[in-house]
């Protein structure tokens, strides 16, 4: 939502909530600067009706009544727009308090701190420590990538973005134009899911591979946003988490510890090499390329060919 419209809706809501009697459209127009600048009566009437509908859609209960002068008036009674009291037991309050302390980023820290204060007021006892209530567990969601904050805002505001992205198999980054849907953290790394306009398909991007600044673009989304965005499932598929086959590789001794952690079998070959069996799923070729000369694919042949093709593409770049 544009800042000007959000401010106009806020001013209208405050007028309707702050009055003790119904206010006519004329009075509301004289009280809100944006309505005074609307121009003609028709422009104002259209703007007011849209704003009134938007506030009702957001949950504000607006009554339409006839005032003493015979004009139609509007007001939002406080008792009709008051939320019921929040009641939390110790477990619920501790869990919410724990969640409020997760974020460490500057932009989110203030909101989380304010939420924690409200939780205290709503029933979180002062002597209940969320960490102690959950076995001294103190969660942290690390965010080191500069792209996180602008992408988070772009996902929230539904704004297209452009950024330079370097694939694992590419020597140089390339520009990607994306309609961002959701951000998700998986095993310590942040990923963005969205619609890649250049490729006309859904894509997932690892934030650590975004170089330079994320630039927002004007205009609306061109593709529908799915109800469920499966970021984690997509990345897990890249890593072979959902694989139902096995690949056999040679791995240099003392190298490739992430591969060793996934191996279902390891055999020493001598001469500084080991043989591993690892789960084989979509995207495994891109992952193996990251280990360079420390990995040699033995089978299946299709995986070996994919890895060779990716290495050749890098060499040409």
Residues 114 and 74 in one domain: no
Residue 183 lies in a domain: yes
Residue 139 lies in a domain: no
Share of the chain above pLDDT 90, in %: 21
**With 80 as the cut, is the pLDDT of residue 6 above it?**
yes
Residue 236 lies in a domain: no
Residues 226 and 152 in one domain: yes
Tally of structural domains, the chain: 4
Residue 138 lies in a domain: no
At residue 130, the pLDDT reads 47
> Does 300 sit behind a cis peptide bond, omega within 30 degrees of 0 on the bond before it?
yes
Write down how long the chain is. 317
Residues 176 and 206 in one domain: yes
User: Which residues form the domain of 115?
Assistant: 90-133
**With 90 as the cut, is the pLDDT of residue 143 above it?**
no
Contact 183, 152 (CB under 8 A): yes
Q: Which of 173, 202, 230 is the last residue of a domain?
A: 230
H/E stretch holding 65 = strand 63-66
Q: Which of 181, 204, 230 is the last residue of a domain?
A: 230
Residues 163 and 217 in one domain: yes
Residue 35 lies in a domain: yes
DSSP category for residue 293? G
Question: pLDDT tens, 78-123?
Answer: 888 876 776 767 677 666 666 666 555 545 556 656 666 666 665 5
> Is the pTM value of this prediction over 0.75?
no
Question: pLDDT tens, 281-292?
Answer: 766 777 788 888
Q: For 183-203, what is the mean pLDDT?
A: 85
Q: Which of 204, 230, 256 is the last residue of a domain?
A: 230
Residues 75 and 96 in one domain: no
At residue 134, the pLDDT reads 45
Q: For 219-233, what is the mean pLDDT?
A: 82
Task: Please report, for the domain that includes residue 214, its CATH number.
Answer: 2.30.30
Question: pLDDT tens, 34-59?
Answer: 888 887 888 899 999 999 998 998 88
Residue 240 lies in a domain: no
Q: 3-state class of 298 per DSSP? A: strand
Residue 215 lies in a domain: yes
Within 10 angstroms of residue 75's Cβ, the number of other Cβ atoms is: 21
Residue 197 lies in a domain: yes
Q: For 141-150, what is the mean pLDDT?
A: 76
Task: Please report, for the domain that includes residue 42, its CATH number.
Answer: 1.10.10.10
Share of the chain above pLDDT 70, in %: 73
Q: 3-state class of 123 per DSSP? A: coil
At residue 102, the pLDDT reads 59
Residues 171 and 122 in one domain: no
């Amino acid at each position: 939502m544009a800042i000007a419209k959000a401010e106009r809706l806020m001013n209208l809501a405050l007028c309707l909530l702050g009055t003790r009697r119904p206010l006519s459209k004329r009075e509301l127009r004289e009280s809100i600067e944006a309505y005074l600048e609307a121009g003609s009566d028709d422009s104002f009437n259209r703007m007011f009706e849209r704003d009134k509908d938007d506030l009702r859609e957001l949950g504000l209960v607006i009554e339409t009544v006839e005032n003493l002068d015979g004009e139609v008036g509007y007001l939002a009674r406080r008792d009709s727009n008051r939320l019921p009291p929040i009641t939390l037991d110790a477990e619920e309050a501790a869990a919410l308090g724990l969640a409020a302390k997760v974020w460490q980023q500057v932009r989110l820290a203030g909101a989380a701190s304010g939420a924690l204060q409200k939780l205290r007021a709503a029933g979180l006892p002062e002597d209940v420590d969320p960490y102690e209530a959950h076995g001294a567990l103190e969660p942290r969601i690390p965010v080191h990538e500069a792209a996180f904050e602008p992408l988070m805002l772009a996902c929230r505001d539904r704004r297209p973005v452009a950024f330079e992205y370097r694939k694992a198999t590419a020597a140089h980054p390339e520009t990607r134009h994306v309609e961002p849907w959701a951000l998700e953290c998986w095993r310590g790394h942040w990923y963005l899911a969205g619609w890649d306009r250049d490729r006309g398909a859904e894509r997932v991007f690892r934030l650590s591979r975004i170089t330079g600044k994320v630039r927002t673009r004007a205009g609306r989304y061109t593709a529908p946003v799915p109800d469920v965005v499966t970021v984690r499932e997509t990345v897990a598929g890249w890593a072979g988490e959902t694989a139902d086959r096995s690949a056999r590789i040679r791995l240099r001794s003392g190298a490739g510890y992430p591969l060793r952690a996934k191996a279902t079998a390891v055999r020493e070959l001598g001469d500084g090499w080991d043989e591993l069996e690892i789960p084989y799923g979509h995207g495994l070729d891109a992952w193996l390329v990251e280990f360079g000369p420390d990995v040699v694919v033995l089978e299946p042949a299709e995986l070996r060919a994919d890895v060779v093709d990716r290495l050749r593409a890098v060499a040409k770049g």
